[in-house]
Amino acid sequence: MPTFVYMTMCDGCGKCVEMCPSDIMHIDPVNRRAFNIEPDMCWECYTCVKYCPEHAIDVRGYADFAPLGHGVTVLREAEKGAVSWKIKYRDGRIKEFTFPIRTTKWGTIPSPRTLPPPPNDAISTPLLSHEPDYLKVDSLPTLKTAKQG
């Protein structure tokens, strides 16, 4: 099943349940640990894997076409702004990569509601917030030769 959970590592915190876009990570009432309730609706998006604080979730490629013996593991360090991958081939070869994920601190994006309010009549222009400045050209382009239908 695409994602699975190691029995001895999961503490039942529910983070994966909170995050899974497919709503398929659920807590088993008997074991009080998470498991994938619908593996054929798993996209292998790795969201749950990245967010599990205990690193208890792993992926075994889809049985339809993925022979056993591989592993793709991930460490996402949000505060450091990096994600690291380790790829283990069926035949034992290993590859490792690290990539940046964000250039600013988490939580620092300003709310548009705290920006100075736009003048009242600006609502009827075609300009969006921060325009024309953010276009980085003089003005918003328009079509002059509109053929009216």
Partner 1 sequence: MSLRKTNSVKHIDCDILIVGGGFAGCGAAYEAGYWGRGLKIVIAEKANIERSGAVAHGLSAINCYMGMRWGENTPEDFVRYARGDLMGLVREDLLFDVARHVDATVHMFEEWGLPMMYNKETGRYQREGKWQIMIHGESYKPIIAEAAQKSVDEVYNRVMITHLLTDAHNSRRIAGAIGLDVRDGTFYVFRAKAVIVGAAGASHIYRPRSIGEGAGRTWYPPWNNGSAYALLMQAGAEMIQMENRIVVTRFKDGYGPVGAWFLMLKSVATNAYGEEYEKAHLDSLRSYVGAKYADAKPMPTCLRNHLMLEEIKAGKGPIYIHTERSLDTREKEELGWEDFLDMTVGQAVMWASQNIDPKEDPSELTMSEPYVMGSHAVCAGAWVSGPEDFAPADYNWGYNRMTTVEGLFGAGDTVGGSAHKFSSGSFTEGRLAAKAAVRYIRDHQDYKPELNTNAVERIREDVYRPLENYNVGRHVIVKGSVSPFFITPKQGLQRLEKIMDEYCGGVSSYYSTNEKLLDRGLLLLQMLKEDARKIGAEDLHQLQRTWELNHRIWVAEAVMRHTLFRKETRWPGYYYRADYPHVDDQKWHVFVSSRYDPATDQWEMNSKPVHHIVP
> What mask, x for binding partner 1 by CB under 8 A, covers residues 13 to 42?
-----xxxxxxx-x----------xxxxxx
- For ligand SF4, the binding residue among 4, 31, 32, 56 (CB under 6 A) is 56
Write 62-67 long-range contacts (CB < 8 A, 24+). Answer: 62/2
Task: Assess 83 for contact with ligand SF4 (CB under 6 A).
Answer: no
Out of 7, 11, 128, 135, the residue judged to bind ligand SF4 by CB under 6 A? 11
- In the residue annotation, 43 being an active-site residue is answered as yes
Show Cβ contacts of residue 14 under 8 Å, excluding neighbours closer than 6 positions: 27, 34
C-alpha pair distances (Å), 132 with each of 90, 91, 112, 136, 138: 53, 55, 16, 7, 7
Q: Which of residues 39-98 bind partner 1 (CB under 8 A)?
A: 39-47, 59, 61-72, 74, 76, 78, 83, 85, 87-91, 93, 95, 97
